[in-house]
Structure 1
């Protein structure tokens, strides 16, 4: 009887035996924080992959403020270190809850090839900080700004400085009580972002006039999200025009789930149909009955903790 190719019972397969490209894809899905605080310490193979600049083309620094594991970490310091590891190869970065003017300047000074940038709950990034950053992002294609404190002024600079911008999310907190109508954001978008394909304006106070300006000036729009835009009245010509023009349309009263902003993994990448996500799908053809185990001494190597990038945020 032929010997079985399955792993012997009670003994798992070594994760370090996976091809490097598969391992790199798995590590990318962990996020930058998990890579820096744990994954890079598993074994020499993982450490080497975690130091490869190409591993850091995407830096996902999203944090859940309710996650106790991140308490005590210097997230800005970690982000700077991740940017350094990219060695200028960074194209996609997400800064959530801890972004500052100084950090954004560091990112854009170090990486001029960024295509995708996401800022959420970054109350310490000012209009001036975003304006300075935008001038250094000529290749930017996808920008998401959610729950920040920016006015319309930096939007004009973003549009003028980033001619390749295809996807823009500018989401605000909305109130249940009446608030002033304002088309400032809409006019800034209409005046400079003529090549947009995808636009999301959650909780904006634009009116029908602002919407018309966007539709007139952005002829390539394919998707438009207007949920919670309570000042719009889309029962007449404006609504009909949206339906006729836009392939994917969300109206002001359409359902909204806040997780779409916080954990929108399916949207975490470019809206470009040719590159729908910053993460590539890898089909891992593992046998369902095989188990993989971590090795902390592959090839009987002795590790010195000085070999690992141990930083103060780990303690």
Structure 2
């Protein structure tokens, strides 16, 4: 019979893990958990959590409503500072202000991906001023934020490398100006999502004319678009990956929010 196992052998000392393995584990926790918990566990973890390479991508989402907006903004501010200018990808959901956006832009000249969702305190003026500081931006997601054609024009003017835009609306009516702003200022786009936007065929036509390099186009729940005749054929020929107004939304990240607002409007 084998001798009883030493209890000490049954447990792995986490401090003995290779640094890259520990970093990989911590990154899976997310920015909020790192800032509020992980970096307080021990000195080695705290030192690792302060490494700028841990903060090249930051995703802060208040899905559980555990934090108020002030706390989230402070944590986002700290995460940006920890990156020491190495930040290339940031996602902010359910909070965000012009002041925070300015801090992100001032501290992150290498930023390539910016994603804002349900950030009601970001203005056209604030966003337009920030766009001028993000010349390397390649991907932009603006979902359910109160921004208009002015912000889109600024992005097109100051972000020449932009290849992907998701401009998803929660406003209702005809907002043809937004589609025309995209068409007139973002000729290098490869990917465009206008989920729930109320553009018409005229706006779609302008987008196809102004963005000749488009490879993917998402028009789901764009209820004023009718893809029939020549326009439908052109979309089928020009766009490799086309999502139609009536296509399924089951894979849409924030569809629950949109459906709730859509039902209120529809009634």
Looking at structure 2, the residues matched to 181 and 106 of structure 1 have their Cα atoms a distance apart, in angstroms, of 34
**Aligned match of 1:290:** none
How large is the RMSD of aligned CA atoms in angstroms? 2.3
Give the TM-score normalised by structure 2: 0.88
Looking at structure 2, the residues matched to 7 and 43 of structure 1 have their Cα atoms a distance apart, in angstroms, of 26
For the residue of structure 2 that corresponds to 1:260, the secondary structure is coil
**Aligned match of 2:216:** 223
Looking at structure 2, the residues matched to 51 and 25 of structure 1 have their Cα atoms a distance apart, in angstroms, of 14
Deviations 1:49-102 (A, max 9, x none): 1000111111111221xx153358711111111111111111111111110011
Give the TM-score normalised by structure 1: 0.75
**Aligned match of 2:239:** 246
Following TM superposition, where does structure 1 have runs of at least 4 consecutive aligned residues deviating by more than 4 angstroms? 6-10
- 5 Å-filtered alignment, 1:249-288, equals 249-257=242-250, 260-261=253-254
Looking at structure 1, the residues matched to 143 and 225 of structure 2 have their Cα atoms a distance apart, in angstroms, of 20
**Aligned match of 2:102:** 105
- 5 Å-filtered alignment, 1:1-315, equals 11-64=10-63, 67-71=64-68, 74-173=71-170, 180-257=173-250, 260-261=253-254
Query: 1:29/1:258 Cα in 2 relative to 1: closer, same or farther (>3 Å)?
Result: same
For the residue of structure 1 that corresponds to 2:79, the secondary structure is helix
For the residue of structure 2 that corresponds to 1:173, the secondary structure is coil
- State the Cα distance separating 1:158 from its structure 2 match: 0.3
2:249 and 2:255 in contact (8 A); partners too: no
Structure 1's unaligned 5+ residue stretches are: 264-315
2:134 and 2:159 in contact (8 A); partners too: yes
- State the Cα distance separating 1:183 from its structure 2 match: 1.5
- State the Cα distance separating 1:156 from its structure 2 match: 0.6
Higher helix share: 2
Query: 1:157/1:71 Cα in 2 relative to 1: closer, same or farther (>3 Å)?
Result: closer
Looking at structure 1, the residues matched to 65 and 100 of structure 2 have their Cα atoms a distance apart, in angstroms, of 23
Deviations 1:173-215 (A, max 9, x none): 26xxxx5333211111111111111110011111111111111
Looking at structure 1, the residues matched to 252 and 183 of structure 2 have their Cα atoms a distance apart, in angstroms, of 28
Equivalenced residues, count: 253
- State the Cα distance separating 1:261 from its structure 2 match: 3.3
Looking at structure 2, the residues matched to 168 and 212 of structure 1 have their Cα atoms a distance apart, in angstroms, of 17
Deviations 1:284-311 (A, max 9, x none): xxxxxxxxxxxxxxxxxxxxxxxxxxxx
- State the Cα distance separating 1:26 from its structure 2 match: 2.4
2:91 and 2:115 in contact (8 A); partners too: yes
- State the Cα distance separating 1:247 from its structure 2 match: 1.4
Looking at structure 2, the residues matched to 89 and 78 of structure 1 have their Cα atoms a distance apart, in angstroms, of 17
Query: 1:8/1:218 Cα in 2 relative to 1: closer, same or farther (>3 Å)?
Result: farther
